[in-house]
C-alpha cells in the first residue's frame, strides 16, 4: 500500500481573483485542510502501527504439538496363565484375591508376551496352539494391555539349543519351507486381525541366535562357503516370516522384533546382527534375553547395550529376564557363578530394580519383559513344575518383585 493514497491534495486556488480581504479566510481554509491532512496521516500511521503487529501475530503459525514420548514397555511372558487358571490357580496381592492381569496392570505392566507353537501336544507347558493364544490374547486386550506375539515356528520349545521344525513341515524342500513359513504367518496374523486383536509387536522366531527351523535354518557349517550358504538359507526363512507379518491385515505398521539370547555377549550379538543386516533383513527392534546366570554381568549387559545402540541404531528390548527368590530350582549351582543379589524375595526385587535403572540410563532401551512371572504350584496332573524365578509364591501371593519396574525411587 502506497503512502500517496493518504497524501490529500487540495485544488489550486487562482490567486488572481483573491483580494486582500479574502486572504485571511483562505488562509484559515488552508490551515483547516492542513490539520485534516495531518490528522489523516497521523491516524493512518497509528492504525498501521497497531494493525501490522496484530496481522503478523495472527498469521504466525503455532508450533506443532510436541510428540509424546513412547511409553516404556513393561511386560511379562504370561503364556501359561489360562492353563494355570484352568487348573484352579488363584492369585492374591496384599492378601486379596485378584485376576493376575489386574495385579500386573496395577504394578505398571502395559504389555503381555504370548508364545505360539505350530501344533503342540497340549501337555504341560506346550499348550499354546492358535485357539489358546487367540483366547488369551483377547483377555490381555480386554485388560487394557498391549500384545507381543512370539512365533516359535515349532511344535515345542525353541531356544538356542534346539529349534525343531513343526512335524507338518518335515521333508519340505527349502523353497517350500519358505512358502510354508510365509503362508502360516500370514494366516495367523489375519486370524488376529479378524477378531480385532491385532498384535502390537511380533517376533518371527524365539531366541534365534543360532538359527531356526533346523536343520535347514541352522547356522552351522564347516567351511566359510558352507557357513555363508547356511546364513543365506536362514535369512530367507526370516524374511518369509517378516513378509507374512507385513502382508497381513494391518501388518504393515506392526514393529517386528528379532530375538536372540546374548544379553551380555557382544561377540555373539555382533556376529549375528552383522550377518543378518548384510543380507538385507529389515526389522525394527532388537530383542535380547538376559538371564544373569547365563548371559553375563549387569556391566556386560550395559556394555552390549551401548554397542548395539551405536552399531545398529534400533530400539532394544530386554524381552526375557528373571531372578530367583529361593534358589531351589533348577539347581542352586546354576546360579552360583554370578549372583549379584541374595536369592531372596528382597534380593529378587533389588536385582529387578537395578536392571530397570540400567535400562532407564539407556534411551535406546524401550522395554523390559519378565519370563513366566505367573508361575505357581499346581496339581501334578497339570504337568507343570514350580520355578523359583516366579514373581509369585507357590501359593499365588504376589512377591515384591511384581512392583519393581515402576517409575520413582
Domain of residue 341, CATH code: 3.20.20.80
Residue of 207, 306, 361, 395 with catalytic role: 207
Q: Are residues 316 and 250 in the same domain?
A: yes
29: in domain: yes
pLDDT higher than 80, residue 91: yes
**What is the pLDDT at residue 57?**
42
**What is the pLDDT at residue 339?**
86
Our count of domains for the chain comes to 2
Q: Which of 37, 59, 81 is the last residue of a domain?
A: 59
Consecutive H or E run containing 297: none
pLDDT higher than 60, residue 356: yes
Mean pLDDT is highest, among 19-33, 282-296, 328-342, for 282-296
- Start-to-end CA span in the chain (Å): 63
Using 50, 70 and 90 to split pLDDT, how confident is the model at 62? low
191: in domain: yes
d(CA 58, CA 229): 64
68: in domain: no
Is 97 noted as a catalytic residue in this protein? no
Q: Are residues 186 and 320 in the same domain?
A: yes
Consecutive H or E run containing 287: strand 285-289
Indicate yes or no: pTM above 0.85: no
pLDDT higher than 80, residue 251: yes
Mean pLDDT of 318-329: 90
Is 207 noted as a catalytic residue in this protein? yes
d(CA 225, CA 17): 116
Tens of pLDDT along 252-293?
999 999 999 999 999 999 999 999 999 999 999 999 999 998
Q: Are residues 169 and 32 in the same domain?
A: no
**What is the pLDDT at residue 70?**
78
**What is the pLDDT at residue 65?**
56
Mean pLDDT of 298-313: 98
d(CA 228, CA 222): 10
Q: Are residues 45 and 152 in the same domain?
A: no
63: which DSSP letter?
A: P
Q: Are residues 82 and 47 in the same domain?
A: no
| DSSP letters spanning 324-371 | -SS--SS-GGGGTT--SS-SSHHHHHHHHHHHHHHHHT-TTEEEEEEE
256: in domain: yes
Using 50, 70 and 90 to split pLDDT, how confident is the model at 250? very high
In this structure, are residues 5 and 48 in contact, taking their beta carbons and an 8 Å threshold? no
Q: Which of 15, 35, 59 is the last residue of a domain?
A: 59
342: in domain: yes
Q: What domain range includes position 38?
A: 3-59
Mean pLDDT of 24-33: 41
Of 17-21, 57-61, 180-184, 216-220, the poorest mean pLDDT is in 17-21
Mean pLDDT of 206-232: 97
Consecutive H or E run containing 151: strand 146-151
For residue 368, the cross-strand partners are 74, 318
67: in domain: no
Alpha-carbon 177 to chain mean position: 29
pLDDT higher than 90, residue 338: no
Mean pLDDT of 90-111: 97
Of 31-40, 152-161, 172-181, 293-302, the poorest mean pLDDT is in 31-40
Q: Are residues 174 and 252 in the same domain?
A: yes
358: in domain: yes
The answer for residues whose C-beta is within 8 angstroms of residue 399's C-beta and 6 or more apart is 325, 345, 348, 349, 390, 391, 392, 393
Q: Are residues 52 and 81 in the same domain?
A: no
> Above pLDDT 90, what percent of the chain?
78
d(CA 78, CA 375): 9
Mean pLDDT of 196-202: 98
Question: 101 versus 21: which is more confidently predicted?
Answer: 101
**What is the pLDDT at residue 407?**
87
> Above pLDDT 70, what percent of the chain?
81
| DSSP letters spanning 227-246 | HHHHHHHHHHHHHHHHHHHH
**What is the pLDDT at residue 101?**
98
Q: Are residues 230 and 258 in the same domain?
A: yes
**What is the pLDDT at residue 63?**
56
Q: Are residues 128 and 275 in the same domain?
A: yes
Residue of 178, 216, 320, 374 with catalytic role: 320
Q: Are residues 199 and 296 in the same domain?
A: yes
Alpha-carbon 43 to chain mean position: 62
**What is the pLDDT at residue 11?**
37
d(CA 335, CA 323): 9
Q: With left for phi above 0 and alpha for psi between -120 and 50, is residue 252 left, alpha or beta?
A: alpha
Q: Are residues 23 and 157 in the same domain?
A: no
For residue 397, the cross-strand partners are 92
Q: Are residues 51 and 187 in the same domain?
A: no
Question: 407 versus 164: which is more confidently predicted?
Answer: 164
Alpha-carbon 279 to chain mean position: 24
Long-range contacts of 31-34 (CB under 8 A, 24+ apart): 33/8
**What is the pLDDT at residue 225?**
96
Percent composition of the chain: helix, strand, coil (DSSP 3-state, to 5): 45, 15, 40
66: in domain: no
d(CA 314, CA 404): 26
| Residue 29, SS3 per DSSP | helix
Which grid cell sits at 376? Answer: 505357581
d(CA 320, CA 328): 20
**What is the pLDDT at residue 384?**
93
d(CA 322, CA 327): 12
**What is the pLDDT at residue 5?**
35
Amino acid at each position: 500500500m502506497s503512502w500517496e493514497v493518504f497524501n490529500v491534495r487540495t485544488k489550486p486556488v487562482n490567486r488572481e481573483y483573491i483580494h486582500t480581504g479574502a486572504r485571511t479566510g483562505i488562509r484559515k481554509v488552508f490551515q483547516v485542510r492542513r490539520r485534516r491532512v495531518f490528522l489523516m496521516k497521523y491516524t493512518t500511521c497509528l492504525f498501521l502501527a497497531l494493525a501490522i503487529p496484530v496481522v503478523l501475530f495472527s498469521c504466525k503459525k503455532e508450533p506443532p504439538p510436541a510428540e509424546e514420548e513412547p511409553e516404556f514397555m513393561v511386560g511379562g511372558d504370561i503364556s501359561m496363565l489360562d492353563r494355570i487358571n484352568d487348573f484352579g490357580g488363584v492369585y492374591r496381592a496384599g492378601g486379596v484375591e485378584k485376576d493376575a492381569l489386574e495385579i500386573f496392570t496395577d504394578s505398571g505392566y502395559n504389555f503381555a508376551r504370548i508364545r505360539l507353537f505350530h501344533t503342540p501336544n497340549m501337555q504341560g507347558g506346550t499348550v499354546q496352539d492358535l485357539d489358546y493364544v487367540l483366547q488369551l490374547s483377547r483377555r490381555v486386550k480386554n485388560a487394557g494391555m498391549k500384545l507381543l506375539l512370539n512365533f516359535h515356528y515349532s511344535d515345542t520349545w525353541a531356544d538356542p539349543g534346539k529349534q525343531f521344525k513343526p512335524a507338518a513341515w518335515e521333508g519340505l524342500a527349502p523353497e517350500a519351507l519358505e512358502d510354508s513359513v510365509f503362508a502360516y504367518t500370514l494366516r495367523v496374523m489375519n486370524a488376529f486381525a479378524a477378531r480385532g486383536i491385532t498384535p502390537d509387536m511380533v517376533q518371527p522366531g524365539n531366541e534365534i541366535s543360532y538359527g531356526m527351523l533346523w536343520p535347514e535354518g541352522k547356522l552351522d557349517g564347516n567351511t566359510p562357503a558352507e557357513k555363508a550358504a547356511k546364513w543365506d538359507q536362514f535369512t530367507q526363512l526370516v524374511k518369509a516370516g517378516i513378509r507374512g507379518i507385513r502382508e497381513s491385515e494391518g501388518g504393515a505398521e506392526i514393529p517386528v522384533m528379532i530375538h536372540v539370547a546374548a544379553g551380555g555377549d557382544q561377540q555373539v550379538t555382533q556376529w549375528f546382527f552383522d550377518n543378518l543386516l548384510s543380507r538385507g533383513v529389515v526389522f525394527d527392534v532388537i530383542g535380547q534375553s538376559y538371564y544373569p546366570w547365563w548371559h553375563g554381568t549387569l556391566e556386560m549387559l550395559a556394555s552390549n547395550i551401548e554397542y548395539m545402540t551405536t552399531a545398529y541404531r534400533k530400539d532394544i528390548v530386554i524381552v526375557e529376564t528373571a531372578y530367583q527368590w529361593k534358589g531351589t530350582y533348577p539347581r542352586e549351582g546354576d546360579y552360583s557363578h554370578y549372583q549379584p543379589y541374595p536369592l531372596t524375595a528382597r534380593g529378587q526385587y533389588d536385582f529387578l530394580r537395578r536392571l530397570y535403572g540400567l535400562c532407564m540410563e539407556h534411551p535406546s532401551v524401550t522395554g523390559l519383559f519378565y519370563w513366566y512371572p505367573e508361575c505357581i504350584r499346581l496339581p501334578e496332573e497339570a504337568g507343570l513344575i514350580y520355578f523359583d524365578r516366579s514373581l509369585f509364591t507357590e501359593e499365588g501371593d504376589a512377591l515384591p518383585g511384581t512392583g519393581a519396574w515402576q517409575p520413582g525411587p
